[in-house]
Structure 1
Amino acid sequence: MEFCPKCNGMMMNTTVKVKKEDLEEKVDEENQSNQETEEEKVVFKCMTCGYEKDPSEVDQDQYKVKETVESSDSVIMRGDESGMRSTVREICPKCGHDRASYELLQTRSADEAPTRFFTCEKCHHKWRGYD
């Protein structure tokens, strides 16, 4: 990520049109005349003040990955293993007791609510609760 040297705003990759003039003359092969044309160029542009910076001016080494991150197994500490289970008023569908402990686990994608698993304090029956 690049930041503007003038206002410290965030700079984004933007495509701009640049006129090609006498520095690079394009010759039209059909009529052999000089043409002034436009070409697209990618620059970093400040979203706050409009300052533009050529990507070749950026230190590319700062964007290189310096180490490989390997995936590791997730360790889930269940409530009964930690000795810290929450208890709520919830009726057991098996014995009718009105107290159950619960734990929350993310069983679906991260943008979905976690699933609540109840355990009856009396008969230890386990069931899933939906919100």
Structure 2
Amino acid sequence: MEFCDECGSMMKTNDEGMWVCASCGYEKPRDSANEAQMTTTQGQEHSEVIDVSDAEDKGLPTTTVHCPECGNDRAYWYMQQIRSADESETRFFVCTECEHKWREDDH
């Protein structure tokens, strides 16, 4: 993502290889070396997957929470950023008994 040097708005690319500000029209050339370091939304889709089958061995913390699958009252939990960076993280739970996995989102 690139931001405008003039007004700070988010810029978009055009077919001529330029960054263009939709708000003020400022243009600047694209920098392929700088863009290679950017994280794209496609790159976020392939984020690290945590194997929770051996959660206790990985030292994940536990908490008191009701498992919707088996009714157990303990679960391992971890936080993961699955949406854009300006959104809050999502907390995932894994039941200590049946290993059912569910998540808690902010509402």
Q: TM-score, normalised by structure 2?
A: 0.49
Please give the TM-score of this superposition, normalised by the length of structure 1: 0.41
Structure index of larger Rg: 1
Point out the structure with the larger strand share.
1
